[in-house]
Amino acid sequence: MSDNLPNFSELTKIVGDDKSFMLRVVQPGLAGLMDGSVSTLAPIFATAFATHNSHTVFLIGAAAAVGAGISMAFSEGLSDDGELTGRGNPVFRGLVTGGMTFLGGFLHTLPFLIPNVHTALIWAYLVVGIELVVIALIRHKYFKTSFALSVLQVIVGGGLVFAAGVIIGQS
């Protein structure tokens, strides 16, 4: 396993080279953050509206975040070996993507540790909003996307998934 992970000098080189950093850290990390932040909205909010039970929502959210993180880690790690595309070490990219996917899904799960589901929902909405703004800021900074357009895009994407969760949860 250690042969597949970059050592400290390789990590320093990745961070020091803008193109390498973009291909090996920012892009897989952003893909993971976006997937984790958005893909877990439907199961979390569907569970909240269907059960009105914070503990159950927390369990579903944690499971969704862990499952999405594992799935995205394998997806990124197995997508290419990095030789043809220049995207670098697949294990490293998989760990970055999987870790950020988990983080994106788990952050808006944490409010459901609050026993009152209505209070937890308010905090979860706030966390989701912050996640979407952070995604827009990363896209703006590293991919030179207009901040306003990026905010609009991530809100539309997140809104569609959230709406699906609400509709299903109220069925």
Nearest residue to 82 via CA among 138, 135, 10, 12? 10
Model pLDDT, residue 17: 63
pTM listed for this prediction:
0.83
Nearest residue to 53 via CA among 105, 107, 110, 116? 116
pLDDT tens-place values along the chain, 171 residues long: 445 666 555 556 555 667 878 888 899 999 999 999 888 988 999 999 999 999 999 999 999 999 999 999 999 989 888 787 778 888 989 999 999 999 999 999 999 999 999 999 999 999 999 999 999 999 999 989 999 999 898 889 888 888 888 888 887
